[in-house]
């Protein structure tokens, strides 16, 4: 049986692009039931699943200059460039609220892709509850050399991109036949052999399988891109990726650049809506004869995508305008 799935690449602060794509999907009432996320891709998926439009880009812009969120010197003071406890606990629970109840009500399956340090292979964890996913999201976002390994359920995990930057194989292995793939690099981008190979070999000498995966990462990534593009050429996938040059790095601090990348993601997703609906149309649905695909009903779509929900949007991620103003004043003071 054909099955739709949403695949989200990571990329650190380049996740602003993905946040724009996902907000467009919310505006267009496109609700994917199975999502495969790597690193920042999985983190962005959480606000989409909780139906809290705008939450992701708000966090990126609000805290991009906050050292509790991201600080290159953090690797020396706390073992990680990103403040993991701040990002995954304090922000969702105290600062920019995550609607845990709405997340559960969506019944969306989020598959979080990390890398198992012992095997060097992808570790894929399916969650239906945001609280259960946080530890795995920390593992999936733990960038080698820039973060510590994360211990979860007896395993040591690092960033999923170490073994599978684009979770295509993990999705295909779990029944996805028609993926919608969101990338954070423009067309034509390819990785090259890393200059950190020797450092990786020394730092992770107790984990030879992880070293192998990291040193072969450029090959794995480039092969994944080729496989994604082949599926798209066959009419079995839709790829959404930046149509404009990407000026945002993994640890970007400029809110204006983040906003521009977000808008690029939103616009690219908007332009891809018709292609997505054609990809996801069920057998027997005469999409060729339809001039306007925006009114396709759930019955006219393949399993894995729906347009109608009984529940409304998630709760506001800020409780009041006064609280939002307090956040802005605090940011200027740090």
- Those residues whose C-beta lies under 8 Å from the C-beta of residue 92, and which sit 6 or more positions away, are 98, 130, 134
- Looking at the whole model, is its pTM more than 0.75? yes
Three state DSSP letters for 241-264: CCCCCCCCCCCCCCHHHHHHHHHH
Please report the pLDDT score of residue 330 as a whole number.
Answer: 44
- In the beta sheet, which residues pair with residue 243? none
Q: How confident is the model at residue 329 (pLDDT cuts 50, 70, 90)?
A: very low
Distance CA 142, CA 149 (A): 6
Task: Report which secondary-structure segment, H or E, holds 266.
Answer: helix 255-280
* pLDDT of 26 over the 90 cut: yes
Question: Within 13 Å of residue 164, how many CA atoms lie on the same side as its CB?
Answer: 26
* pLDDT of 141 over the 80 cut: yes
Q: How confident is the model at residue 72 (pLDDT cuts 50, 70, 90)?
A: confident
Q: State both tokens at 141.
A: 């976002």
Please report the pLDDT score of residue 328 as a whole number.
Answer: 53
* pLDDT of 314 over the 80 cut: yes
């Amino acid at each position: 049986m054909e099955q739709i799935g949403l695949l989200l690449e990571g990329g650190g602060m380049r996740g602003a692009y993905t946040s724009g794509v996902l907000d467009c999907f919310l505006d267009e009432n496109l609700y994917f039931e199975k999502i495969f996320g790597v690193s920042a891709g999985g983190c962005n998926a959480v606000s989409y699943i909780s139906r809290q439009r705008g939450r992701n880009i708000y966090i990126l812009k609000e805290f991009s200059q906050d050292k509790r969120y991201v600080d290159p010197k953090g690797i020396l003071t706390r073992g990680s460039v990103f403040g993991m406890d701040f990002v995954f606990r304090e922000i969702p629970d105290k600062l920019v609220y995550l609607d845990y109840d709405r997340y559960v009500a969506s019944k969306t399956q989020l598959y979080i892709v990390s890398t198992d340090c012992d095997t060097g292979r992808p570790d894929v964890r399916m969650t239906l509850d945001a609280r259960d996913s946080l530890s795995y999201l920390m593992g999936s976002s733990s960038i080698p050399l820039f973060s510590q390994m994360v211990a979860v359920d007896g395993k040591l995990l690092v960033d999923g991109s170490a073994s599978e930057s684009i979770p295509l194989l993990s999705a295909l292995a779990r029944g996805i036949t028609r993926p919608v793939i969101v990338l954070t690099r423009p067309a034509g981008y390819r990785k090259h052999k890393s200059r950190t190979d020797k450092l990786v070999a020394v730092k992770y000498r107790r984990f030879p399988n992880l070293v192998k995966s990291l040193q072969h990462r450029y090959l794995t990534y480039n092969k994944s891109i080729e496989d994604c593009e082949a599926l798209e050429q066959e009419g079995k996938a839709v790829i959404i990726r930046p149509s404009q040059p990407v000026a945002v790095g993994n640890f970007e601090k400029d809110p204006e650049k983040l906003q521009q990348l977000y808008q690029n993601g939103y616009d690219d997703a908007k332009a891809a809506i018709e292609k997505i609906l054609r990809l996801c149309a069920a057998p027997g649905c005469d999409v060729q004869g339809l001039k306007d695909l925006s009114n396709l009903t759930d019955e006219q779509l393949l399993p894995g995508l729906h347009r109608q929900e009984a529940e409304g949007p998630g709760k506001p991620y800020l409780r009041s305008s006064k609280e939002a103003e307090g956040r802005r004043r605090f940011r200027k003071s740090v």
